[in-house]
Structure 1
Amino acid sequence: MARFLIRNAVKMLLLLLAVSLVVFALVSVSPIDPVQANVGQAAYLGMSEEKRAQLSEYWGVETPFWERYVSWLTSAVQGDLGTSLRFNAPVSEVIATRALNSLALMAVAWVISGALGFVLGVAAGANRGRLLDRIVKGYCFLLASVPTFWLGLVFLIVFSVQLGWFPFGFSVPIGVSADDVTLTDTLRHLILPALTLSVVGVANIALHTREKTIDVLESDYVRFARARGLTLWEALRAHGLRNIALPAITLQFASVSEILGGSVLVEQVFSYPGLGQAAVVAGLGGDAALLAGIAVLSAAIVFFGNLVANVLYGVVDPRIRKGAVL
C-alpha cells in the first residue's frame, strides 16, 4: 500500500506539472492580446503608447515564456498560485469562491447520470430486442449526438421561458444579497444545469452496461442458475450484478473528465458562476495564472476519480486481488 500511494503521488505530481506547462505554452502562443482583450477595442485604440507599454508590462506580454512559467511554478510550490489579472484577486481566492458551485453541479450530475445509466443499461440488456431495449438505445444514440450547449438552450426555452418552472440562470436570485439567499433558492438555480449535464452523461454508461449485461446473461453460470429454477432477475441479481458493476465503475469515474468538460459549456449557457465560466474568461483574457490553477485542479479531480475506481475494484469483486488491481 505504501508503494502504491507513493507511485500514484509521483504520477499525480508529474501530471499536474505537465498540465500547467501545457497551459502556459498555449497561452503564450495564443493570438489574443490580453491587454486589448481586457480593456476593450475602443479603449485600446485611444490609449497612448506609454499607457499600452505600462499595461503590457503589468500583464507580462513581453516577459519570456519560461521566465513567466518558472516564476509561477516557484510560487505555486510555496502555495501561492499567483494573482488573477482578470479578476484582480489571488487565484486561490477566485477558485475558492467558484469551486463550491461547480463541485455541487458536477456531483449532482455525476451521481444522477451514473445511477440512471446503470439502471437503464441493465434493463435494456435484460430485455434485449424488446420495446424497452429499443427505447433505451434510441434515447442513448440521440443524446450521444446532441451538443451539450444546444440541449441547455432547449431546456432554458422549455422549462424557464415557456413553463416558468426554473430561473433563467445564475446560482442565486438577481438582486438578493448573499445573506438572504436560502437553500431553496440555490437548489432551484442548480436543478436545470445539473439536469442538462445528467441527461447527456447517461448515454455512454447505459450503452456499455447494456452490452456487459448481455454478455453476463449469456454466460454459463447464469444459464446454470436459470436451469436451477431462478428467474432472470433473480439470477442476474445473485450472480451477475458484480460483474456488470466493474465496467460501470470504470466508466462512472472516467466520466468525471466528461462532466468537467460539459460543465464549462453548461455554465456558459446558464451564466452559472463556476470554475468553467472562470476558465473561459481566463482563456479569452490571457490570464495564464488563473487558467493554470483551474486546469491543475481539474486534472487533480480526474486523477483522483480514476484512483478511486482502481481501489473499488477489490471492494466490488473480492476475487480480484488488491495488489493486482492497485
Structure 2
Amino acid sequence: MALVSLLDTSGDSVAASSAPDPAPAGESGTRRVVLTVLGRLLRLASLLVAVAVGTFVLMTSSPVDPIEAYVGADTAVISSEQRDQIAERWGLDEPPVQRFAAWAGNLAQGDLGTSVVFGEPVVDVIADRFVASLALLALAWIFSGVLGFVMGLVAGATHGRLLDRVLSWWAYTLASAPTFWVGLLLLYVFSVSLQWTPVCCAGPIGALPGEVTLLERLHHLVLPALTLSVVGISPVMLHTRQQTIEVLASDQVAFARAQGERGAGLVLHRVARNAAGPALMLQFASIGELIGGAVLAEQVFTYPGLGQATTTAALRQDVPLLMGVALFTALLVFIGNSLGDLAHRAVAPHAREGVR
C-alpha cells in the first residue's frame, strides 16, 4: 500500500526508482546452479568412497586364496619362500586396513595400481577393454531404447487389445529372464543350429586385431548386442506403455480428439513427446544394468571386453583391477543418471521445477 501511495503522488520517477533490481534474481539463479553442482559432486564423491570400501571388503572377505588364484594350477609346486615372495610383491602380507590406505594414497596421486593378472597398469587395461565393450554397449543401448519406446507407444495406443497383451506378455517374460540364459538360447539357435553367427570372440579366431575388417567385427558383435538389447527393451517398453495410457486419458488428448485428430497422428503429436521424457530418463538410468548385463554376455560369447576383464579380476583375486573397474563403472552410472535427468528436463520442461 505504501508503494501505491508513492506512485500516486510522485509519478513515473518514483515508480522507476522503486522497480526491483534484476541482479539479485540472477545472482540467486547462479547460486542455485552452483549449489546443485556442488551437491552432485558431493554425492559422486560419497558414491565412489562407498563403492571402493564395499569392493575392497568383499574382495578381502572372499574365501579364495589370492596366492593360489594368482599362481593357478602350479600352486602345489611352489615353496613357502615363493609364496612369501608373491605375498610381499603384491602387498598381501600387510593388514587389510594398511593395504586399503596405501591404495587410497596412490589413487589420490592418480595411480590405480597394476593389474595382477595382466601385469599392466589398471588404467591401460580398463581403457583397452572399454574400447572393445563400447561398440557393444552403444549398439545395445540405442537399439533397446528405440525399439522399447516404439513398442511402448504401440502397446499403449492399443491398450486392452490383442497386440497390447502380446507385447506386454513378451516384455514381462524377458524382464524376468537372466541375461546369460537369453545369451545361451540365442547362441544355440543362431550360432549352433542355424550357423548364421560366430560362436565367440570379437573377430575370427587366429586373426590379428589389425587384420579384422569392419564387417567381421559387426558379424561377431551382432549376437552379443542382440542379447543385451532384448533384455533392455522390457523396462523402457513397459514404462512407455504406462505413460502412453495416462496421456491418452488426459484432457488435452480428449480435446485433440474433439478436433478430429485420430490414429498415429494423435499418438505422434500429442503422446510421443510427453512419453519421451520418462523414457529417456529411464534409458540413461539403465546404463548400470547394461554394464552388469555385459559382464554375463561377454562371458557367454567370450567377448574380450570390460565385462570379461571384470569376471577375470574377480575369479583371480585381482584387487587393483576390480577396484578400478568398480570405480569406473560407478562413474559411468552416475553420469548416465545425470544425463537422464537433464534429458528429461529438456524434453519435459514442466519437470524442471520438481527436480533438484
Matched, 1:242 2:259: no
Q: What's the offset of the Cα at 1:72?
A: 1.2
Q: Do structure 1's residue 290 and structure 2's residue 341 form an aligned pair? A: no
The residue correspondences of 1:1-326 to structure 2 (distance < 5 A) are 1-41=33-73, 43-321=74-352, 324-326=354-356
The Cα of 1:296 is off from its aligned counterpart by: 0.6
Give the Cα–Cα distance (whole angstroms) in 2 for the partners of residues 177 and 197 of structure 1.
26
Report the secondary structure of 1:272's partner residue. coil
Matched to 2:328, the amino acid is L
Give the structure, 1 or 2, with the largest relative contact order (CA under 8 Å, sep 6 or more): 1
1:219-272 C-alpha deviation (Å, 9 max, x unpaired)? 111111111111143333222222212221221111111101100000000001
CA distance in 2, matches of 1:157, 1:238: 42
Q: Which moved more, 1:118-127 or 1:14-23?
A: 14-23
- Partners of 2:56 and 2:350 lie apart in 1 by 45
CA contact (8 A) 1:143 1:203 kept: yes
1:172, 1:186 within 8 Å by CA — same for their partners in 2? yes
- Tell me if the contact between 2:70 and 2:116 (Cα under 8 Å) persists in the aligned partners: no
Partner Cα distance (1:106, 1:262) in 2: 10
RMSD of the alignment, in Å?
A: 1.5
Measure, in 2, the Cα distance between the counterparts of 1:157 and 1:284.
26
TM-score by length of 2: 0.87
Q: Secondary structure at the match of 2:60?
A: helix
Alignment CA distance shift 1:314-1:250 (3 Å): closer
Distance, in Å, in 2 between the alignment partners of 1:208 and 1:269 is 29
How far 1:158 sits from its partner (Å)?
A: 1.4
Q: Alignment identity in percent?
A: 48
- Counterpart contact for 2:277–2:345, Cα < 8 Å: no
> Contact between 1:279 and 1:291, CA under 8 Å: does it hold in 2?
yes
Tell me the distance in 2 between the aligned counterparts of 1:118 and 1:246.
11
SS at match of 2:350: coil
Which 4+ stretches in 1 moved above 6 angstroms? none
Q: Which residue of 1 aligns with 2:14?
A: none
Partners in 2 of 1:269 and 1:113 — Cα distance?
20
Question: If you compute each CA radius of gyration, which structure gives the higher value, 1 or 2?
Answer: 2
Deviation at 1:324, TM superposition (A): 4.7
Give the paired residue count: 324
* C-alpha contact (below 8 Å) 1:32/1:286 kept by paired residues: yes
> What code does the residue aligned with 1:40 have?
G
Contact in 1 for aligned 2:244/2:275 (Cα 8 Å): yes
